[in-house]
Structure 1
Amino acid sequence: MKKSLMAIGSLFLLGGTATAQKVVFQEYTLDNGLHVILHQDKSAPVVITSVMYHVGSKDENPTRTGFAHFFEHLLFEGTKNIARGEWMKVVSSNGGVNNANTSDDRTYYYEVFPSNSLELGLWMESERLMHPVINQIGVDTQNEVVKEEKRLRVDNQPYGNILAEVKKNMFVKHPYRWATIGSMEHLDAATLKEFQDFNAKYYIPNNAVLVVAGDFEATQAKNWVQQYFGPIKRGADIQRETFTEEPITQTLKATYQDPNIQIPMMIAAYRTPSMKTRDAKVLDMISTYLSDGKSSKLYKKIVDDKKMALQIGAVGFSQADYGMYILYGLPLGANTTEGLLKEADDEIVKIQSELISEKDFQKLQNKFENQFVNSNANIEGVAENLATYYLLYGDVNLINTEADIYRSITREEIREIAKKYLNPNQRLILDYVPSKDKAQN
């Protein structure tokens, strides 16, 4: 489930549930293929302009990984009408903030402005789409920025390579097999024309959705959308390749030595279905049941009661084509990663063989109800959710109805889905250990 801030989210602790308000929106498509979603919320004098592009690391050439994330940075360099280095200054001088993020499946840019700056936000995003300046100076500058980000967040971060190593060993054919940040060697080897071609292929109106959310007048917003985005030419239709992975039928094993750690980590990862499937939502509930918070089954048993671990958890990575469900734990003292895995497996077997209690099930339902409300509790969350449900799920109204799917999940389904996906012969065991010179004494 998605994150946000809302005090009402704490109600589930008292056994109550929050009530979601329906998100009202309009949607339409420009002649050039740009999909537009408008959501009015006049509770605060702010407005968000955001564009989500259907391009992520899975759309990259295997010999040029990291392009999508690189463009997250590169498209702040400047445009024909916004001088290099001026983008952030324009935003901040008008009382706004902006940011961007990239996943395997999409890239998202947004600005939050006072409501009287809606036209400015729309113009800036249209500039990014119509008139980006992609030159060698910008490429060289952002190359250094991305390298520093990789050093900070991955190379020098304890346990920073877990996700990359899981993906590398979990996927054989699918582009999910490489990290979103990509390879610095690939970026170094790329020519300026390759960057320009990537932009021309993917950063086009018919591969994007524009969301305007907040305090604005719909008629004026539509006029400005047409004025600034309407003249942009439609790009060539994108032909996407489908990658199908063979089922995992034998336990996969791999080892990774991390020079930044002293304590090994237990990691067991399962490949799961697309986030668009009902099964994926059931697995979300299983993950929450096992590991969400200190009252979860794994934490209470392994950390609190048996004191075998410093940390234990399970996390699901939801993606458009496949997902991942990853169990992890840090052993305490003389305990081992093998011991932690056995304890976690015992809890999974219980879910596979017994129905979870009615009390635990109700707590789980309440938690998901409140998480759903919380995900739409601020205008930034609503804007990103609207874009995501359109671009990746193909159904904007899931912003109002996805909670119904979670509500309809039964205890019997939880048991059956655990039996279907969470078996020892269907997973990767990653031996994530310290480098030999860093091993714990």
Structure 2
Amino acid sequence: MKKNLLATLVLSGLCLSALAQKVKFTEYDLDNGLHVILHQDKTAPVVAVSVMYHVGSKDEDPKRTGFAHFFEHLLFEGSPNLKRGEFMKTVSSNGGQNNANTSQDRTFYYEMFPSNQLELGLWLESERMLQPKIDEAGVRTQNEVVKEEKRLRVDNSPYGKFSENIFKHLFKGTPYEWQIIGSMEHLDAATLPEFLAFFKKYYGPANAVLTIAGDIDVEKTKGLVKKYFAEVPKSAPVVKAPYKLPEMNKQIIDTAYDANIQIPAIFTAYRVPGMRSRDSKVMEMISSVLSGGGSSRLNRKMVDEKKTALQVSAFNYGLEDHGAYIALALPNNNTPLNDLLADIDAEVLKLQTELITDKEFKKLQNQFENSYVSANSRMLGVAENLASGYTFHNKNTNDINEELDVIKSITPEEIRAVAKKYLNKDQRVVLYYLPKK
């Protein structure tokens, strides 16, 4: 039995190495400035059509927060050729799926279709970019949709406001201070001309990447892209407003209360570099050492051995300009939150002063290679990763192929050095998150 298990593990490793192949792509610009990326993969008769706009909540007016997320909803309202409510029906009735999501830094729209519906996907996204329906009726409708989403995901969700309470301290005075969903008061006060101006500024071809991945013929697809997107007027380049992140040289301690919880929690959040930094990838590895699976250091120590925590986690929240490294724990058996914090700090200190073991390092590399292969085994994942490379890594679309080399080049010594550089108490927020009576 052990021999069979060993053989399976060896074969799995060989399969991973074989699958971790370079992602081939073709890229070019239309005359109107739209960047186009094409990836051909005929292993399955499916195609992903996506558009990433380089606009997120950090691009908003501080007095009009929530616009980027609002447009994630508003741009499904239709066009002169699509009646209100017909966008999603058109996709589903032709065997497809679609959705969109917004971050602090970008908005991503996509459709997944059988490959014979590629042209339909291109037409839908071109309608969204060329002539979306932005009117008072749509604004009112989507305003109610966003309010309900906020009630479900933030206001009435357990621990739903932890990031709000952390970011207002960690990124105070910057566009990362407010949350993606924004302020409902700001959206209520906004006028239709303000929404139209936001669309004109950020949703043109100069601020977008069209990525198509899947069972396509590259030359035929180029013709279809030109057919549907060449008529979109050229847009002005978007100039991002500069800002300065205030220095942080002492620990900030705060308390938040949540009526939706019965179990308190302790959070720590450190300022770290943004996603374009090599150190950001190292921070992801550090989070995996601390809480990546049941055998990770924090889980083994606090959940399994001491049984002081019901749950413990650490993760790197990579943003375009900066990042937040967040660790959290929920107590078991009424363990004081300060005891949980002390255990987390002790494991961080070990990372800063000792090298991780060879066993941990090999496990870490396997985890990240597996994650890389998994992310690029789905056409939607390939489409998003190609677009992200171009958008966030100085127009380096090939970042998708360089990421694994970066992972393999990170050493235990570098992990220790990066932990020592950033995971310091004078660079963090400690949040006591308590039940509200």
Distance (Å, rounded) in 1 between the aligned partners of 2:345 and 2:305: 17
Matched, 1:329 2:329: yes
Distance (Å, rounded) in 2 between the aligned partners of 1:91 and 1:64: 32
Matched, 1:76 2:76: yes
Distance (Å, rounded) in 1 between the aligned partners of 2:13 and 2:225: 45
Distance (Å, rounded) in 1 between the aligned partners of 2:407 and 2:146: 38
Hey, what does 1:4 align to over in structure 2?
A: none
Aligned residues of 2:53 and 2:202 also touching (Cα < 8 A): yes
Distance (Å, rounded) in 2 between the aligned partners of 1:352 and 1:12: 33
Q: What pairs up with 1:61-100 in 2 under 5 angstroms?
A: 61-100=61-100
Distance (Å, rounded) in 1 between the aligned partners of 2:273 and 2:325: 10
Letter aligned with residue 400 of structure 1? N
Aligned residues of 1:12 and 1:370 also touching (Cα < 8 A): no
Distance (Å, rounded) in 2 between the aligned partners of 1:16 and 1:276: 30
Hey, what does 1:410 align to over in structure 2?
A: 411
Distance (Å, rounded) in 2 between the aligned partners of 1:347 and 1:243: 34
Shift of 1:89: 1.2
Tell me, what secondary structure is at the counterpart of 1:52? strand
Hey, what does 2:5 align to over in structure 1?
A: none
What is the aligned residue count?
A: 427
Hey, what does 1:309 align to over in structure 2?
A: 309
Q: What pairs up with 1:147-158 in 2 under 5 angstroms?
A: 147-158=147-158
Question: RCO greater where, 1 or 2, for CA within 8 Å and sep 6 or more?
Answer: 1
Distance (Å, rounded) in 2 between the aligned partners of 1:243 and 1:21: 39
Letter aligned with residue 104 of structure 2? D
Letter aligned with residue 392 of structure 2? L
Distance (Å, rounded) in 2 between the aligned partners of 1:300 and 1:247: 35
Tell me, what secondary structure is at the counterpart of 1:175? coil
Distance (Å, rounded) in 1 between the aligned partners of 2:306 and 2:11: 25
TM-score, with length taken from structure 1: 0.95
Aligned residues of 1:267 and 1:431 also touching (Cα < 8 A): yes
Distance (Å, rounded) in 2 between the aligned partners of 1:46 and 1:115: 4
CA deviations 1:250-277 (Å, max 9, x no partner) are 0011111111111110100001101111
Distance (Å, rounded) in 1 between the aligned partners of 2:151 and 2:141: 16
Aligned residues of 2:389 and 2:396 also touching (Cα < 8 A): yes
Aligned residues of 1:17 and 1:369 also touching (Cα < 8 A): no
Matched, 1:360 2:368: no
Gaps of 5+ in 1: 1-9
Taking only the aligned residue pairs, the percentage that are identical comes to 57
Distance (Å, rounded) in 2 between the aligned partners of 1:15 and 1:411: 21
Shift of 1:11: 5.4
Structure 1 segments, 4+ long, off by >2 Å, are 10-17
Letter aligned with residue 406 of structure 1? I
Shift of 1:12: 9.1
Gaps of 5+ in 2: 1-7
> Cα RMSD between the aligned structures?
1.4
CA deviations 1:353-403 (Å, max 9, x no partner) are 111111111111111111111110111111111111111123111111111
Shift of 1:16: 6.7
More divergent stretch after superposition (303-312 vs 332-341):
332-341
CA deviations 1:141-168 (Å, max 9, x no partner) are 0000000000001100000111111111
Hey, what does 2:172 align to over in structure 1?
A: 172
TM-score, with length taken from structure 2: 0.96
Aligned residues of 1:17 and 1:366 also touching (Cα < 8 A): no
Hey, what does 1:318 align to over in structure 2?
A: 318
Hey, what does 1:3 align to over in structure 2?
A: none
